[in-house]
Amino acid sequence: MEKPVDVLVQWLKVTKVVDLSDFRDMVCGGDKVRAWREASRLIEEGVLRAAAHPDDGRKRCLVLTAKGARELGVEVGAHRVIKSSQLEWLILRSRLYVRLLTAGFRAESILGRKEALEKYGLEPQESYLAWVITEPGPYCLYVPWPSGYGAKVYRSVNNSEAKGVWFEAHILVHESAESWRYDRRRFVRNCPPGRFLLLRSDQVGELKALPAARVKEVEALFKAIAPGGNLTRAPIGSPLPLVYTRRGSMLVGDMRLDDISLAARVIGLTREMVGGWNGVTLGVRDEAHAADWARLFGDRNWLWYLVASTCSLYQYDGRRLVYVGGGQKHEKAAR
CB 170 within 8 A of CB 194: yes
What is d(CA 326, CA 319) in angstroms, rounded to the nearest whole number? 21
Give 174-193 pLDDT, tens digit per residue. 988 888 999 999 999 899 98
Q: Answer left, alpha or beta for residue 237, where phi above 0 means left and psi between -120 and 50 means alpha.
A: left
CA atoms of 316 and 132, how far apart (whole Å): 37
Q: Span 273-292, mean pLDDT?
A: 92
**How open is the CA angle 149-176-65, to the nearest 5 degrees?**
65
Mean pLDDT computed over every residue of the chain:
90
* 12 and 62 Cβ atoms separated by less than 8 Å: yes
Task: Give yes or no for residue 330 having a pLDDT over 80.
Answer: no
The pLDDT, as a whole number, for residue 335 is: 44
Q: What is the pLDDT of residues 13-70, one digit of tens each?
A: 999 999 999 999 999 999 999 999 999 999 999 999 999 998 888 899 999 998 988 8
Peptide linkage before 124 cis (omega within 30 of 0): no
From CA 201, how far away is CA 185, in angstroms rounded? 18
Q: Between the CA of residue 47 and those of 25, 68, 94, 204, 309, what are the distances in Å?
A: 22, 4, 17, 31, 47
Taking residue 178's Cβ as centre, other Cβ atoms within 10 Å add up to: 9
Secondary structure (3-state) at 47:
coil
What pLDDT, in 10s, does the model give residues 211-259?
Answer: 999 999 999 999 999 899 999 999 988 889 999 999 889 999 999 999 9
For 149-170, how does the pLDDT look when each residue is reduced to its tens digit (9 = 90+)?
889 999 999 989 888 889 999 9
Going 127 to 132 to 138 to 141, the CA torsion angle's sign is negative
Distance CA 199, CA 171 (A): 7
- Strand residue runs (E) in the chain: 17-19, 48-52, 60-64, 110-111, 131-133, 139-142, 169-174, 196-200, 230-233, 242-245, 249-254, 280-284, 303-307, 312-316, 321-326
Beta pairing class for 169-174 and 139-142: parallel
Q: What is the pTM of this model?
A: 0.91
Give the strand order in the sheet containing 139-142. 110-111, 131-133, 139-142, 169-174, 196-200
Whether 333 shows a pLDDT value over 70: the answer reads no
